[in-house]
Amino acid sequence: MKIEKRFLTEMNRCYSAASIQVDGGTRILLATEGEGPCLAWNAPDYATPHTVWEGPGGTMSMVPIPGTNGEFLAVQKFFKMFQWEEAKVVHVRPLASGGYEVTDILQLPYIHRFDLLSVNGRHYFIGCTLATHKDSKEDWSSPGKIWVGEFTGPGPLEVRVLKDGLTKNHGYSRLVLSGAMHGLVTCEQGAFRVSPPQTPGADWTVEQFMDWPISDISAIDIDGDGELEYATIEPFHGQYFRIYKKVGGAFKRVYEHPEVTEFYHVVVGTHLAGRPVFIGGCRRGKQQLFYVRATQTSPLRLEATVIEEGVGPSNVHVLHEKERDIIVAADREVAQAALYVVTKSE
């Protein structure tokens, strides 16, 4: 495959990446974890940014609201170190005038990752707090929690604790199985699959499937055998990027990235140029953005390809467009927002 980079803009502590659909067109979003803005670019050329908000910043996650014209939810005020008591979720609505209306809907200290999982037209909120209280950056004595509720509109969002006792509750990714949405949550205790109510009035379910410290996780069937493989970052902000396959009912490690260095932070299972891959990235060491693909399926052989080195990505978001895929990248360590345009080789 062929990959070409496009620089978008400089952004200090560029961290969060997402996209929305407004009036039938795509807008990509990039926001800072520091004090500062969220910016948007319109398809098809993504040439000129416009401002979604000037501040306050501290944006960890942005999630589109299904069935709306570009509305989305976002975290704000999750700032560096341990100053996260004021963290909150906001509702954002694009306006016909070209601006955006931003409304607070949930005050939740230490809210880091969240999602909306849809079941038969109902939208369920799942939020993960990194901790419950911290006296210092190193203080992990008050574990994080999984919070859930039903999102019914832009008004105040009511949530409750589904599970607590999750130390360094950092990782989240969405998993879709047979059309059903689930959330994968990771922490020091391992990895959990969280499923929303499948009928009105039913309860959420939580299933633990890994039991060792994991910072982040994503899943895809990388070798085409009908079974999911799981890529992880281990441990918290860890030095290992690993891939696991279930063999004989137990997880077997089938790949480890050759660079062992702290602060791996990107792990995304997706397709590039029609092929299943895991995208990875690290904020220390060589600060690579890379993808891993299967070069052989029996026996399984996985190989990493560097997309770019020296950029230190914090998060990426992948768009699938006609005849191309786009990796929207928050290249945090060089204070850049960028696109990587992926096409099939000639």
pLDDT at 345: 79
Which segment of 135-144, 200-209, 316-325 scores lowest on mean pLDDT? 135-144
Question: How far is residue 312's CA from residue 84's CA, in Å, rounded to a whole number?
Answer: 23
> What pLDDT, in 10s, does the model give residues 154-170?
889 999 999 999 999 99
**DSSP assignment, residue 43?**
T
Task: Report percent pLDDT > 90 for the chain.
Answer: 95
- The yes-or-no verdict on residue 104 having pLDDT over 70 is yes
pLDDT single digits (tens) 280-305: 999 999 999 999 999 999 899 999 99
pLDDT at res. 80: 61
Q: In the prediction, which pLDDT does 346 show?
A: 60
CATH assignment at residue 239: 2.130.10.130
Between CA 88 and CA 103, with CA 91 as vertex, the angle to 5 degrees is: 80
Residue 320 has pLDDT above 90, yes or no: yes
**50-103 pLDDT per residue, tens:** 999 999 999 999 999 999 999 999 999 998 655 678 999 999 999 999 999 999
Is 245's pLDDT higher than 70?
A: yes
Q: What pLDDT is recorded for position 158?
A: 97
**Structural domain span for residue 206:** 2-343
Give the integer Cα–Cα distance in Å for 274 and 283.
27
Mean pLDDT of the chain: 96
Identity (one letter) of the amino acid at 76? Q
The total of structural domains in the chain comes to 1
Task: Say how many C-beta atoms besides its own lie within 10 A of residue 285's C-beta.
Answer: 15
Q: What pLDDT is stored for residue 82 in this prediction?
A: 58
